[in-house]
Amino acid sequence: MKGETVLVVEDEEDIRELISYNLKREGFEVVALNTGEAGLNAALESPPSLAMLDIMLPGLSGLEVCKKLKSNELTKHVPVILVSAKGDETDVIVGLELGADDYISKPFSPRILVARAKAVIRRGTLNQSDDDSQLLIHQLSMHPGRFEAVIAGKALSLTASEFKILHYLARHPGWVFTRAQIVDAVRGDDYPVTERSIDVQIVGIRKKLGDFDNYIETVRGIGYRFREKGPVKPEGPLK
């Protein structure tokens, strides 16, 4: 993770130092600040690879900083991890709805914190290819901003998780993703996604794709990928 900068905004000095120390050990550059206002200004001046925000900050709260980052063109693609006390479940849900990518509850394991930071940055790197723009591949058209998916001129009625999974796979045709990677890519919203449920979600997506169900290929022993070459004609569902 050399070259990746993490903005840490935490008003408790010991926690701020603990987070900074463990991130630096893994090669991250760290900018550590103690107020929301300072954190927001720093992010706008030089957008970091990741913002790690304590929810309960004096003055401008972590939630407010998150909202401002996600609504600004300069920083809307900056991944955000919220750091919360155990009793802040409602605030965490609000944060996820504002666009936060993940959260960590205090007290936390430094190893888990670093692992979460790496995962969110990896996911953010993959997701920076015009997330809100229209995607056209084979006979599939998807528009995340409008939550629209059309296959061969027919609108698809997808759940939120089905939409995100299909969009994630379709944006990387030919790439093979494990179930864990797919979970990681869609984690952070207000619906549960587990590795086991990915198989169920894929079945549902294929069913709704109808004659084009073989757009999604099963790679035995690994996971799934979106077919790279097209157009594809009906061949029956891939098992």
**Torsion region of 231: left, alpha or beta (phi above 0 gives left; psi -120 to 50 gives alpha):** beta
C-alpha to C-alpha distances, 70 to 176, 185, 229, nearest whole angstrom: 29, 18, 35
C-alpha to C-alpha distances, 236 to 213, 215, 232, nearest whole angstrom: 8, 11, 11
Instruction: State the pLDDT at residue 125.
Output: 61
Nearest to 121 by CA among 25, 225, 29: 29
Instruction: State the pLDDT at residue 164.
Output: 87
* pTM of the complete model: 0.57
Strand-pair category, 5-9 with 29-33: parallel
Cα separation of 49 and 138, whole Å? 33
Residue 234 has pLDDT above 70, yes or no: no
pLDDT digits 0-9 by tens, 19-59: 999 999 999 999 999 999 999 999 999 999 999 999 999 89
DSSP letters for 137-181: ETTEEEETTTTEEEETTEE----HHHHHHHHHHHTSTT--EEHHH
Instruction: State the pLDDT at residue 88.
Output: 62
Instruction: State the pLDDT at residue 131.
Output: 55
Give the position of tokens 């893994």. 26
Burial of 202 (0-12, 13-18, 19+ CB in 10 A): buried
Residues above pLDDT 90, as percent of the chain: 49
pLDDT digits 0-9 by tens, 189-221: 444 456 677 898 899 999 999 999 999 999 988
Task: Name all domains of the chain by residue range, CATH numbers in brackets.
Answer: 5-126 (3.40.50.2300), 135-226 (1.10.10.10)
Bridge partners (DSSP) of residue 224 are: 177, 218
Binned at pLDDT 50, 70 and 90, residue 237 comes out as very low
Residue 145 has pLDDT above 80, yes or no: no
Residue 231 has pLDDT above 70, yes or no: no
Nearest to 17 by CA among 36, 3, 30: 30
Please report the sign of the dihedral spanned by the C-alpha atoms of residue 171, residue 76, residue 102, residue 93: negative
- Higher pLDDT, residue 190 or 158: 158
